[in-house]
Structure 1
Amino acid sequence: MDSATIARAVELLRAGRLVALPTETVYGLGADAANPEAVARIFAAKGRPADHPLIVHLPGAAWLEQWAREIPPLAWELAEDFWPGPLTLILKRAPGVPDAVTGGQDTVGVRVPAHPLALQLLRAFAASEPAPGTGKPGGGLAAPSANRFGRISPTSAEHVRAELGDAVDFVLDGGACPVGIESTILDLSRGPDFPPRLLRPGAITPEMILRTTGVEVEVAGKAATTDAPRVSGSLSAHYAPRTPLRLLAASEVDAAIGEAARAGRSIAVLRRLPEAGQTAELLSLHTRWLPADAEGFARELYAALREVDALGVSLILAEAVPAAGEWAAVADRLRRAACGAGA
């Protein structure tokens, strides 16, 4: 991206305006995270509940201590292993971090995105910091997904423009997002005597963290998490199309298609890689085939959901995926999409 475009984006951010930016996961709706008035514009544009915390995006791990305190050694190890990348760490917030960012909690979510355009913007923004002594943390952009709250996350600049329109002052177009689903969220706020806790699955899996650090991650649902911080994307209904969506086992999809046909319902179908011998009747439907591998499926999922949601059908049938391992994050997004669909 040319320097004049980045300079214009930084100018707008410094003025408290909103700039949509690409990350490796999804497009974010960026604002100066140290400016409560700017952060409030994010909530207004998205229709996001005020107590729902945001993730602060940083240009590098060197800025971490401006936003967090009591940082355990594991956080630095994870930053070394996975930043830049799709891993958000939940830590104790540093003094001066606005309540608007944390949802009033004593924790803050931080990450360093792996998209080159996001890093270019973040570094330019950090370089434009005012003189020290303001008492505010610096270099951070709050950047939740650039869509209406609870709806399908955007993975292209076109998605952002179509959904938010004039609510965004500037959109940086970095092409399609290569990961396609939101970051893994890992809670380290309980201190070094407790294991890290997975609050949202993503492309960085507990197995990957175990391999690189030797530390086992506590997975939400397998242990009590009533004391867990509120984090982005943790509501039961999220990432959802406006069209009702039914999530079905692969063995149930064909029967559901036949049932809908007999009832005269217009439907669309999301399925994994087509199987040999698929009938012409089924192929004539609004069927969106997704890659058979977890990485490819995740990359295309939100764009596919937007495509079928725009068809005007009465129902979307989606084939379920495995719930564990590398598929856990995709299964999580499909489950939440089905809960929120049609709302």
Structure 2
Amino acid sequence: MNFLEDINKSIEVLQNGGIILYPTDTIWGIGCDATNAEAVSKIYNLKKRDDHKSMLVLIDNAVRLNFYVQEVPELAYDLIELSDKPLTIIYPQGKNLAKNLLAEDGSIGIRVTEESFSKTLCRKFRKPLVSTSANLSGNPSPKNFREISKEILNGVDYVVKYRQDEQINSAPSGIIKLGVDGQVKIIRE
């Protein structure tokens, strides 16, 4: 299966409320339509994760932030532009996303992906994607495809073929929390 076939099959699954296992700009992620609360619940169940622990969202372009965040601090655009590695920013108030995706305080973590597969998928799907590490809650995040457990592989509706053979040991993104008052908090470097 080639890149575009993987993209098209992923979109078909996402449009039907399914969940996928796919490569991102960091580690392999479990994903779904970030606007579909039922699909988001499927990921919480698969990961055996408390639904009060929010998951992050991928988008393909910083221009889309205004549609999913109540008020985007100006600093966010500078951080995205200047970051030399994948950066997830936690924004104070998410909107137009599944309610069970937001943290208890209404905040949401969003990352603009530059990796070819996830960026193309977000662009063609025309919606944000949930991206959470491909592991059961409490277990270490897999550094590459071969480290993903059978339970996760069997629990998703589609496993992307693209990049499965890579030997790279990937790492999660950095995380910064921005407040509307200009407050900046580094969560993970």
Q: What is the TM-score normalised by the length of structure 2?
A: 0.89
The match for 1:171 is 159
The match for 1:155 is 143
Could you list the runs of 4 or more consecutive aligned residues of structure 1 that deviate by over 4 angstroms after TM superposition?
A: none
**Are the aligned partners of 1:65 and 1:94 in contact in 2 as well (CA < 8 Å)?**
no
**Are the aligned partners of 1:107 and 1:189 in contact in 2 as well (CA < 8 Å)?**
no
1:142 and 2:130 matched: yes
SS of 1:29 mapped into structure 2: strand
Summarize the alignment of residues 286-325 of structure 1 with structure 2, pairs less than 5 Å apart. Answer: none
The match for 2:10 is 9
How many Å apart are 1:177 and its aligned residue?
7.4
1:198 and 2:186 matched: yes
The match for 2:21 is 20
Distance in 1 between residues matched to 2:107 and 2:131, nearest whole Å: 17
One-letter amino acid of the counterpart of residue 95, structure 1: K
The match for 2:75 is 74
Identity between Structure 1 and Structure 2 (%):
28
How many Å apart are 1:198 and its aligned residue?
0.4
How many Å apart are 1:149 and its aligned residue?
0.7
Distance in 2 between residues matched to 1:108 and 1:145, nearest whole Å: 16
How many Å apart are 1:48 and its aligned residue?
0.6
SS of 1:143 mapped into structure 2: strand
The match for 1:187 is 177
Summarize the alignment of residues 30-109 of structure 1 with structure 2, pairs less than 5 Å apart. Answer: 30-82=31-83, 85-109=85-109
One-letter amino acid of the counterpart of residue 9, structure 1: S
**Are the aligned partners of 1:29 and 1:146 in contact in 2 as well (CA < 8 Å)?**
yes
**Runs of 5+ unmatched residues, structure 2:** none
One-letter amino acid of the counterpart of residue 58, structure 2: H
**Are the aligned partners of 1:157 and 1:171 in contact in 2 as well (CA < 8 Å)?**
no
How many Å apart are 1:73 and its aligned residue?
1.1
**Deviation sequence 1:14-54 (CA, Å, 0-9, x none):** 11101111123211100100000000000011001110011
Distance in 2 between residues matched to 1:74 and 1:95, nearest whole Å: 19
How many Å apart are 1:148 and its aligned residue?
0.6
Structure-2 change in CA distance of 1:177 and 1:16 (3 Å): farther
1:29 and 2:30 matched: yes
How many Å apart are 1:178 and its aligned residue?
4.7
SS of 2:132 mapped into structure 1: coil
SS of 1:69 mapped into structure 2: coil
RMSD: 1.9
**Deviation sequence 1:63-90 (CA, Å, 0-9, x none):** 111111221111011122238x410111
How many Å apart are 1:165 and its aligned residue?
2.9
How many Å apart are 1:163 and its aligned residue?
4.1
Distance in 1 between residues matched to 2:167 and 2:179, nearest whole Å: 29
Distance in 1 between residues matched to 2:114 and 2:91, nearest whole Å: 20
The match for 1:120 is 120
**Deviation sequence 1:254-310 (CA, Å, 0-9, x none):** xxxxxxxxxxxxxxxxxxxxxxxxxxxxxxxxxxxxxxxxxxxxxxxxxxxxxxxxx
How many Å apart are 1:179 and its aligned residue?
6.3
Structure-2 change in CA distance of 1:81 and 1:23 (3 Å): same
Q: Which has the higher contact order (CA 8 A, sep 6+)?
A: 2
Summarize the alignment of residues 236-255 of structure 1 with structure 2, pairs less than 5 Å apart. Answer: none
